[in-house]
Amino acid sequence: MIKLTNILKEIGDASSSPYISSDALSLDIKKSGHFNVVTGKFTTDSGLTIKYEFRGVDPEIYGFEFMIDEAPQHSIKTTPKEYLRIMSSIVLIVNKFLSENDISELWISGADKPGFEGQKNKIYIKYVESLLKNNSKYFLKNDGDDLIIINKKILSK
């Protein structure tokens, strides 16, 4: 059984290594209909494929989602180590996207398991918050369901 206190301790020092390296990560923005889109995926030790997507209707405002590919969420089993490495990979992807793009807002929602709505979302948000809290370029707003990363330049307008 995974104890929340153990996860929160790990979130505090964020020492889990991501499944991907920053150098191997390509986050090129492509046009898809009315949207600007960046998509990608990575594979965990157990073979789960995690897909992610940044989607913006405006070049300055994006949403970010990630999901497990080709498996019903209720049947997914992960170890604490794998779970934390997935979160670390997500943070790496978000940080690289923010460093390469001058956007105003990025909305992030975590992934929920049916029947446990809100639990993983809160953990993902806390993990991202812990790794971005010292970033002087962005302000973080947690509205309970989403983490909104806001570029401080728009706050000064």
pLDDT at 26: 84
Name the pTM for this structure: 0.77
Least confident of 40-44, 69-73, 132-136, 140-144: 69-73
Tally of structural domains, the chain: 1
Q: In 10 A of CB 140, how many CB atoms?
A: 15
**Greater model confidence, 36 or 128:** 36
Asked whether the beta carbons of 118 and 112 are under 8 A apart, the reply is yes
Domain span at residue 42 reads: 4-155
Half-sphere exposure for 64 (CA within 13 Å, toward CB): 25
CA pair distance 124, 146, nearest whole angstrom: 10
Mean pLDDT of 117-145: 69
Q: Is 142's pLDDT higher than 90?
A: no
The chain-wide mean pLDDT, for the chain, equals 76
Distances (CA, A) of 96 to 5, 44, 58, 70: 28, 20, 19, 26
Q: Which residues pair with 55 in a beta bridge?
A: 37, 63
**Greater model confidence, 68 or 103:** 103
* End-to-end CA separation in angstroms for the chain: 48
Q: How confident is the model at residue 62 (pLDDT cuts 50, 70, 90)?
A: very high
pLDDT at 54: 93
Q: What is the pLDDT of residues 8-57, one digit of tens each?
A: 444 445 567 888 888 878 888 888 888 899 999 999 988 888 899 999 97
pLDDT at 8: 47
